[in-house]
Amino acid sequence: MGFKRTFHAVEVHSGEPMRVITGGVPHIPGNSVYEQMKWLERNDDQVRMLMLREPRGYPPLCCNLIVPPKHPDAVAGYIIMEQTEYPVMSGGNTIAVATVLLETGMIPMQEPFTEFQLEAPAGLIGIKAECRDGKVVQVTFKNVPAFAVHLDAVIDVPELGKVTVDVGWGGMFYVIADVRQFDWIKLQPDHGREISRVSSLILKAAQDQLPVEHPDYPGVGITISQLSGPTDNPKADWKNVVTVASGPVDFDNPATWTGALDRCPCGTGTCAKMATLHAKGKLKLNEPFRHEGILGTTFTGHLVEEVQIGKHRGVVPTIGGQAWIYGYNTYVLDPTDPFPNGFTIGDIWA
C-alpha cells in the first residue's frame, strides 16, 4: 500500500523546536517565495496542519519548508509555518534553516565563515554562519527593517485592567508589555501557564484597540505578544518570553486564554524590541543587545542602519544565535488515516 503523502524533515531547535522539511512537497507556483507562501496557504494548507498538529506536532512547534529560490542572489528559499499563520519572517527559524542547509551539506560549508543569502517570504536575508569542525556554532542574519508603531500605549485588558504596551514590527507585529506591571509573574519556566494567560489577553486587547499597518503587507495585524523585563543574567541585557497563539482568543471563553511559549529568545521579537528601544532613545546604532529567553539562552542583536518604511522611521537589525539538529524523520500520511489534517484536543490546545 502506498502512502498519500511523504515528507522528509530535519528536526532542529534553538530551545524552540523548528522542523525543516527538505523533501516531499511538489512544485509550488509563484514568482517569489512570498507568492509561493500565499499559494501554499490557499491551496495546500494540509502541509502546515499535518506537520504542526498532532500526532506529528504539538503547540510550540514551528515548521519550515525549503523551496528553490526565485531571487537570483539567493541559494535557497524557505516558507515559515506556525500554528495560526504563515509569518513572512522568523529569526529563530532562519537560524534553524541556515544550520540545516550547512550541516546536511545542502549548501557547501566553508570555515571559519560561510556567507550566503536566503529568500524568505519577506525578501533576501543575508547570512553569516560561523563554522567550526563541520558544525555551525553561530548564525548571524541581517533582517528586514524593524520599526515601532505604538510607544507606551495604554490599553484596557479584561482580567488585568489598564496595561502599558509598545507595538513593534520585527518581521511580525508584536505587542510588548513590561512584566513588572504584573508583580505575580516571573519570566521563568514554572510561571509558563500564567505567562501565556496574561500574554493572550494582552494580545487580544491590542488587536482590538491598536491599529497597525505595514506598507508591504496589507491586512497583517498584531499576531504575537511578548512579556519583557530586566534580567540578572550577566550574559544578557534584557529578558523576554514570547507567546505564540495556538488559536484565536475570545474574552468570553477562558479556555482560549492560552498559547505556546517560545522556548528561544525569539529573533523577530528581539528586532521588534530593539526598534522600540531605539525609538525611545534607549538603544543606539551598533550597540550590542543581548536578549535572553525563558531557558536562559541568548540571541545578540545590533541595529546597523536607520531607514524609512512607509511613514515609519525604522532600523535594520542583525541577530545572532545558534541552533542544534536533534533528529531526522520521514513523515507519512496513510490514505486510510481518519485525520488527514491532524488534530487538536483542548487539554493542550486553545
Which of the residues are catalytic?
Answer: 90
How far is 125 from 137, CA to CA, in rounded Å?
A: 19
CA dist list (Å): 17 to 13, 58, 96, 245, 301: 4, 10, 9, 15, 21
Q: What is the DSSP letter of 189?
A: G
Phi then psi dihedrals of residue 6, to 5 deg: -140, 130
How far is 322 from 299, CA to CA, in rounded Å?
A: 8
Place of cell 563541520: 134
* Cα of 160 vs its chain's centroid, Å: 26
Beta-carbon contacts of 50 under 8 Å, excluding residues fewer than 6 positions away, are 5, 7, 56, 331, 333, 340, 341, 342
How far is 135 from 322, CA to CA, in rounded Å?
A: 11
| Residue 71, CB-side half-sphere exposure with 13 Å CA sphere | 20
How far is 26 from 29, CA to CA, in rounded Å?
A: 10
How far is 156 from 142, CA to CA, in rounded Å?
A: 36
Place of cell 527538505: 22
Element of type H or E holding 292: strand 289-292
Q: 239: closest CA among 191, 284, 202? A: 191
Q: 30: closest CA among 63, 73, 67? A: 67
Burial class of residue 330 in the structure, from the number of CB atoms within 10 Å of its CB (0-12 exposed, 13-18 middle, 19+ buried):
exposed
Write out the three cell numbers for 214: 505595514
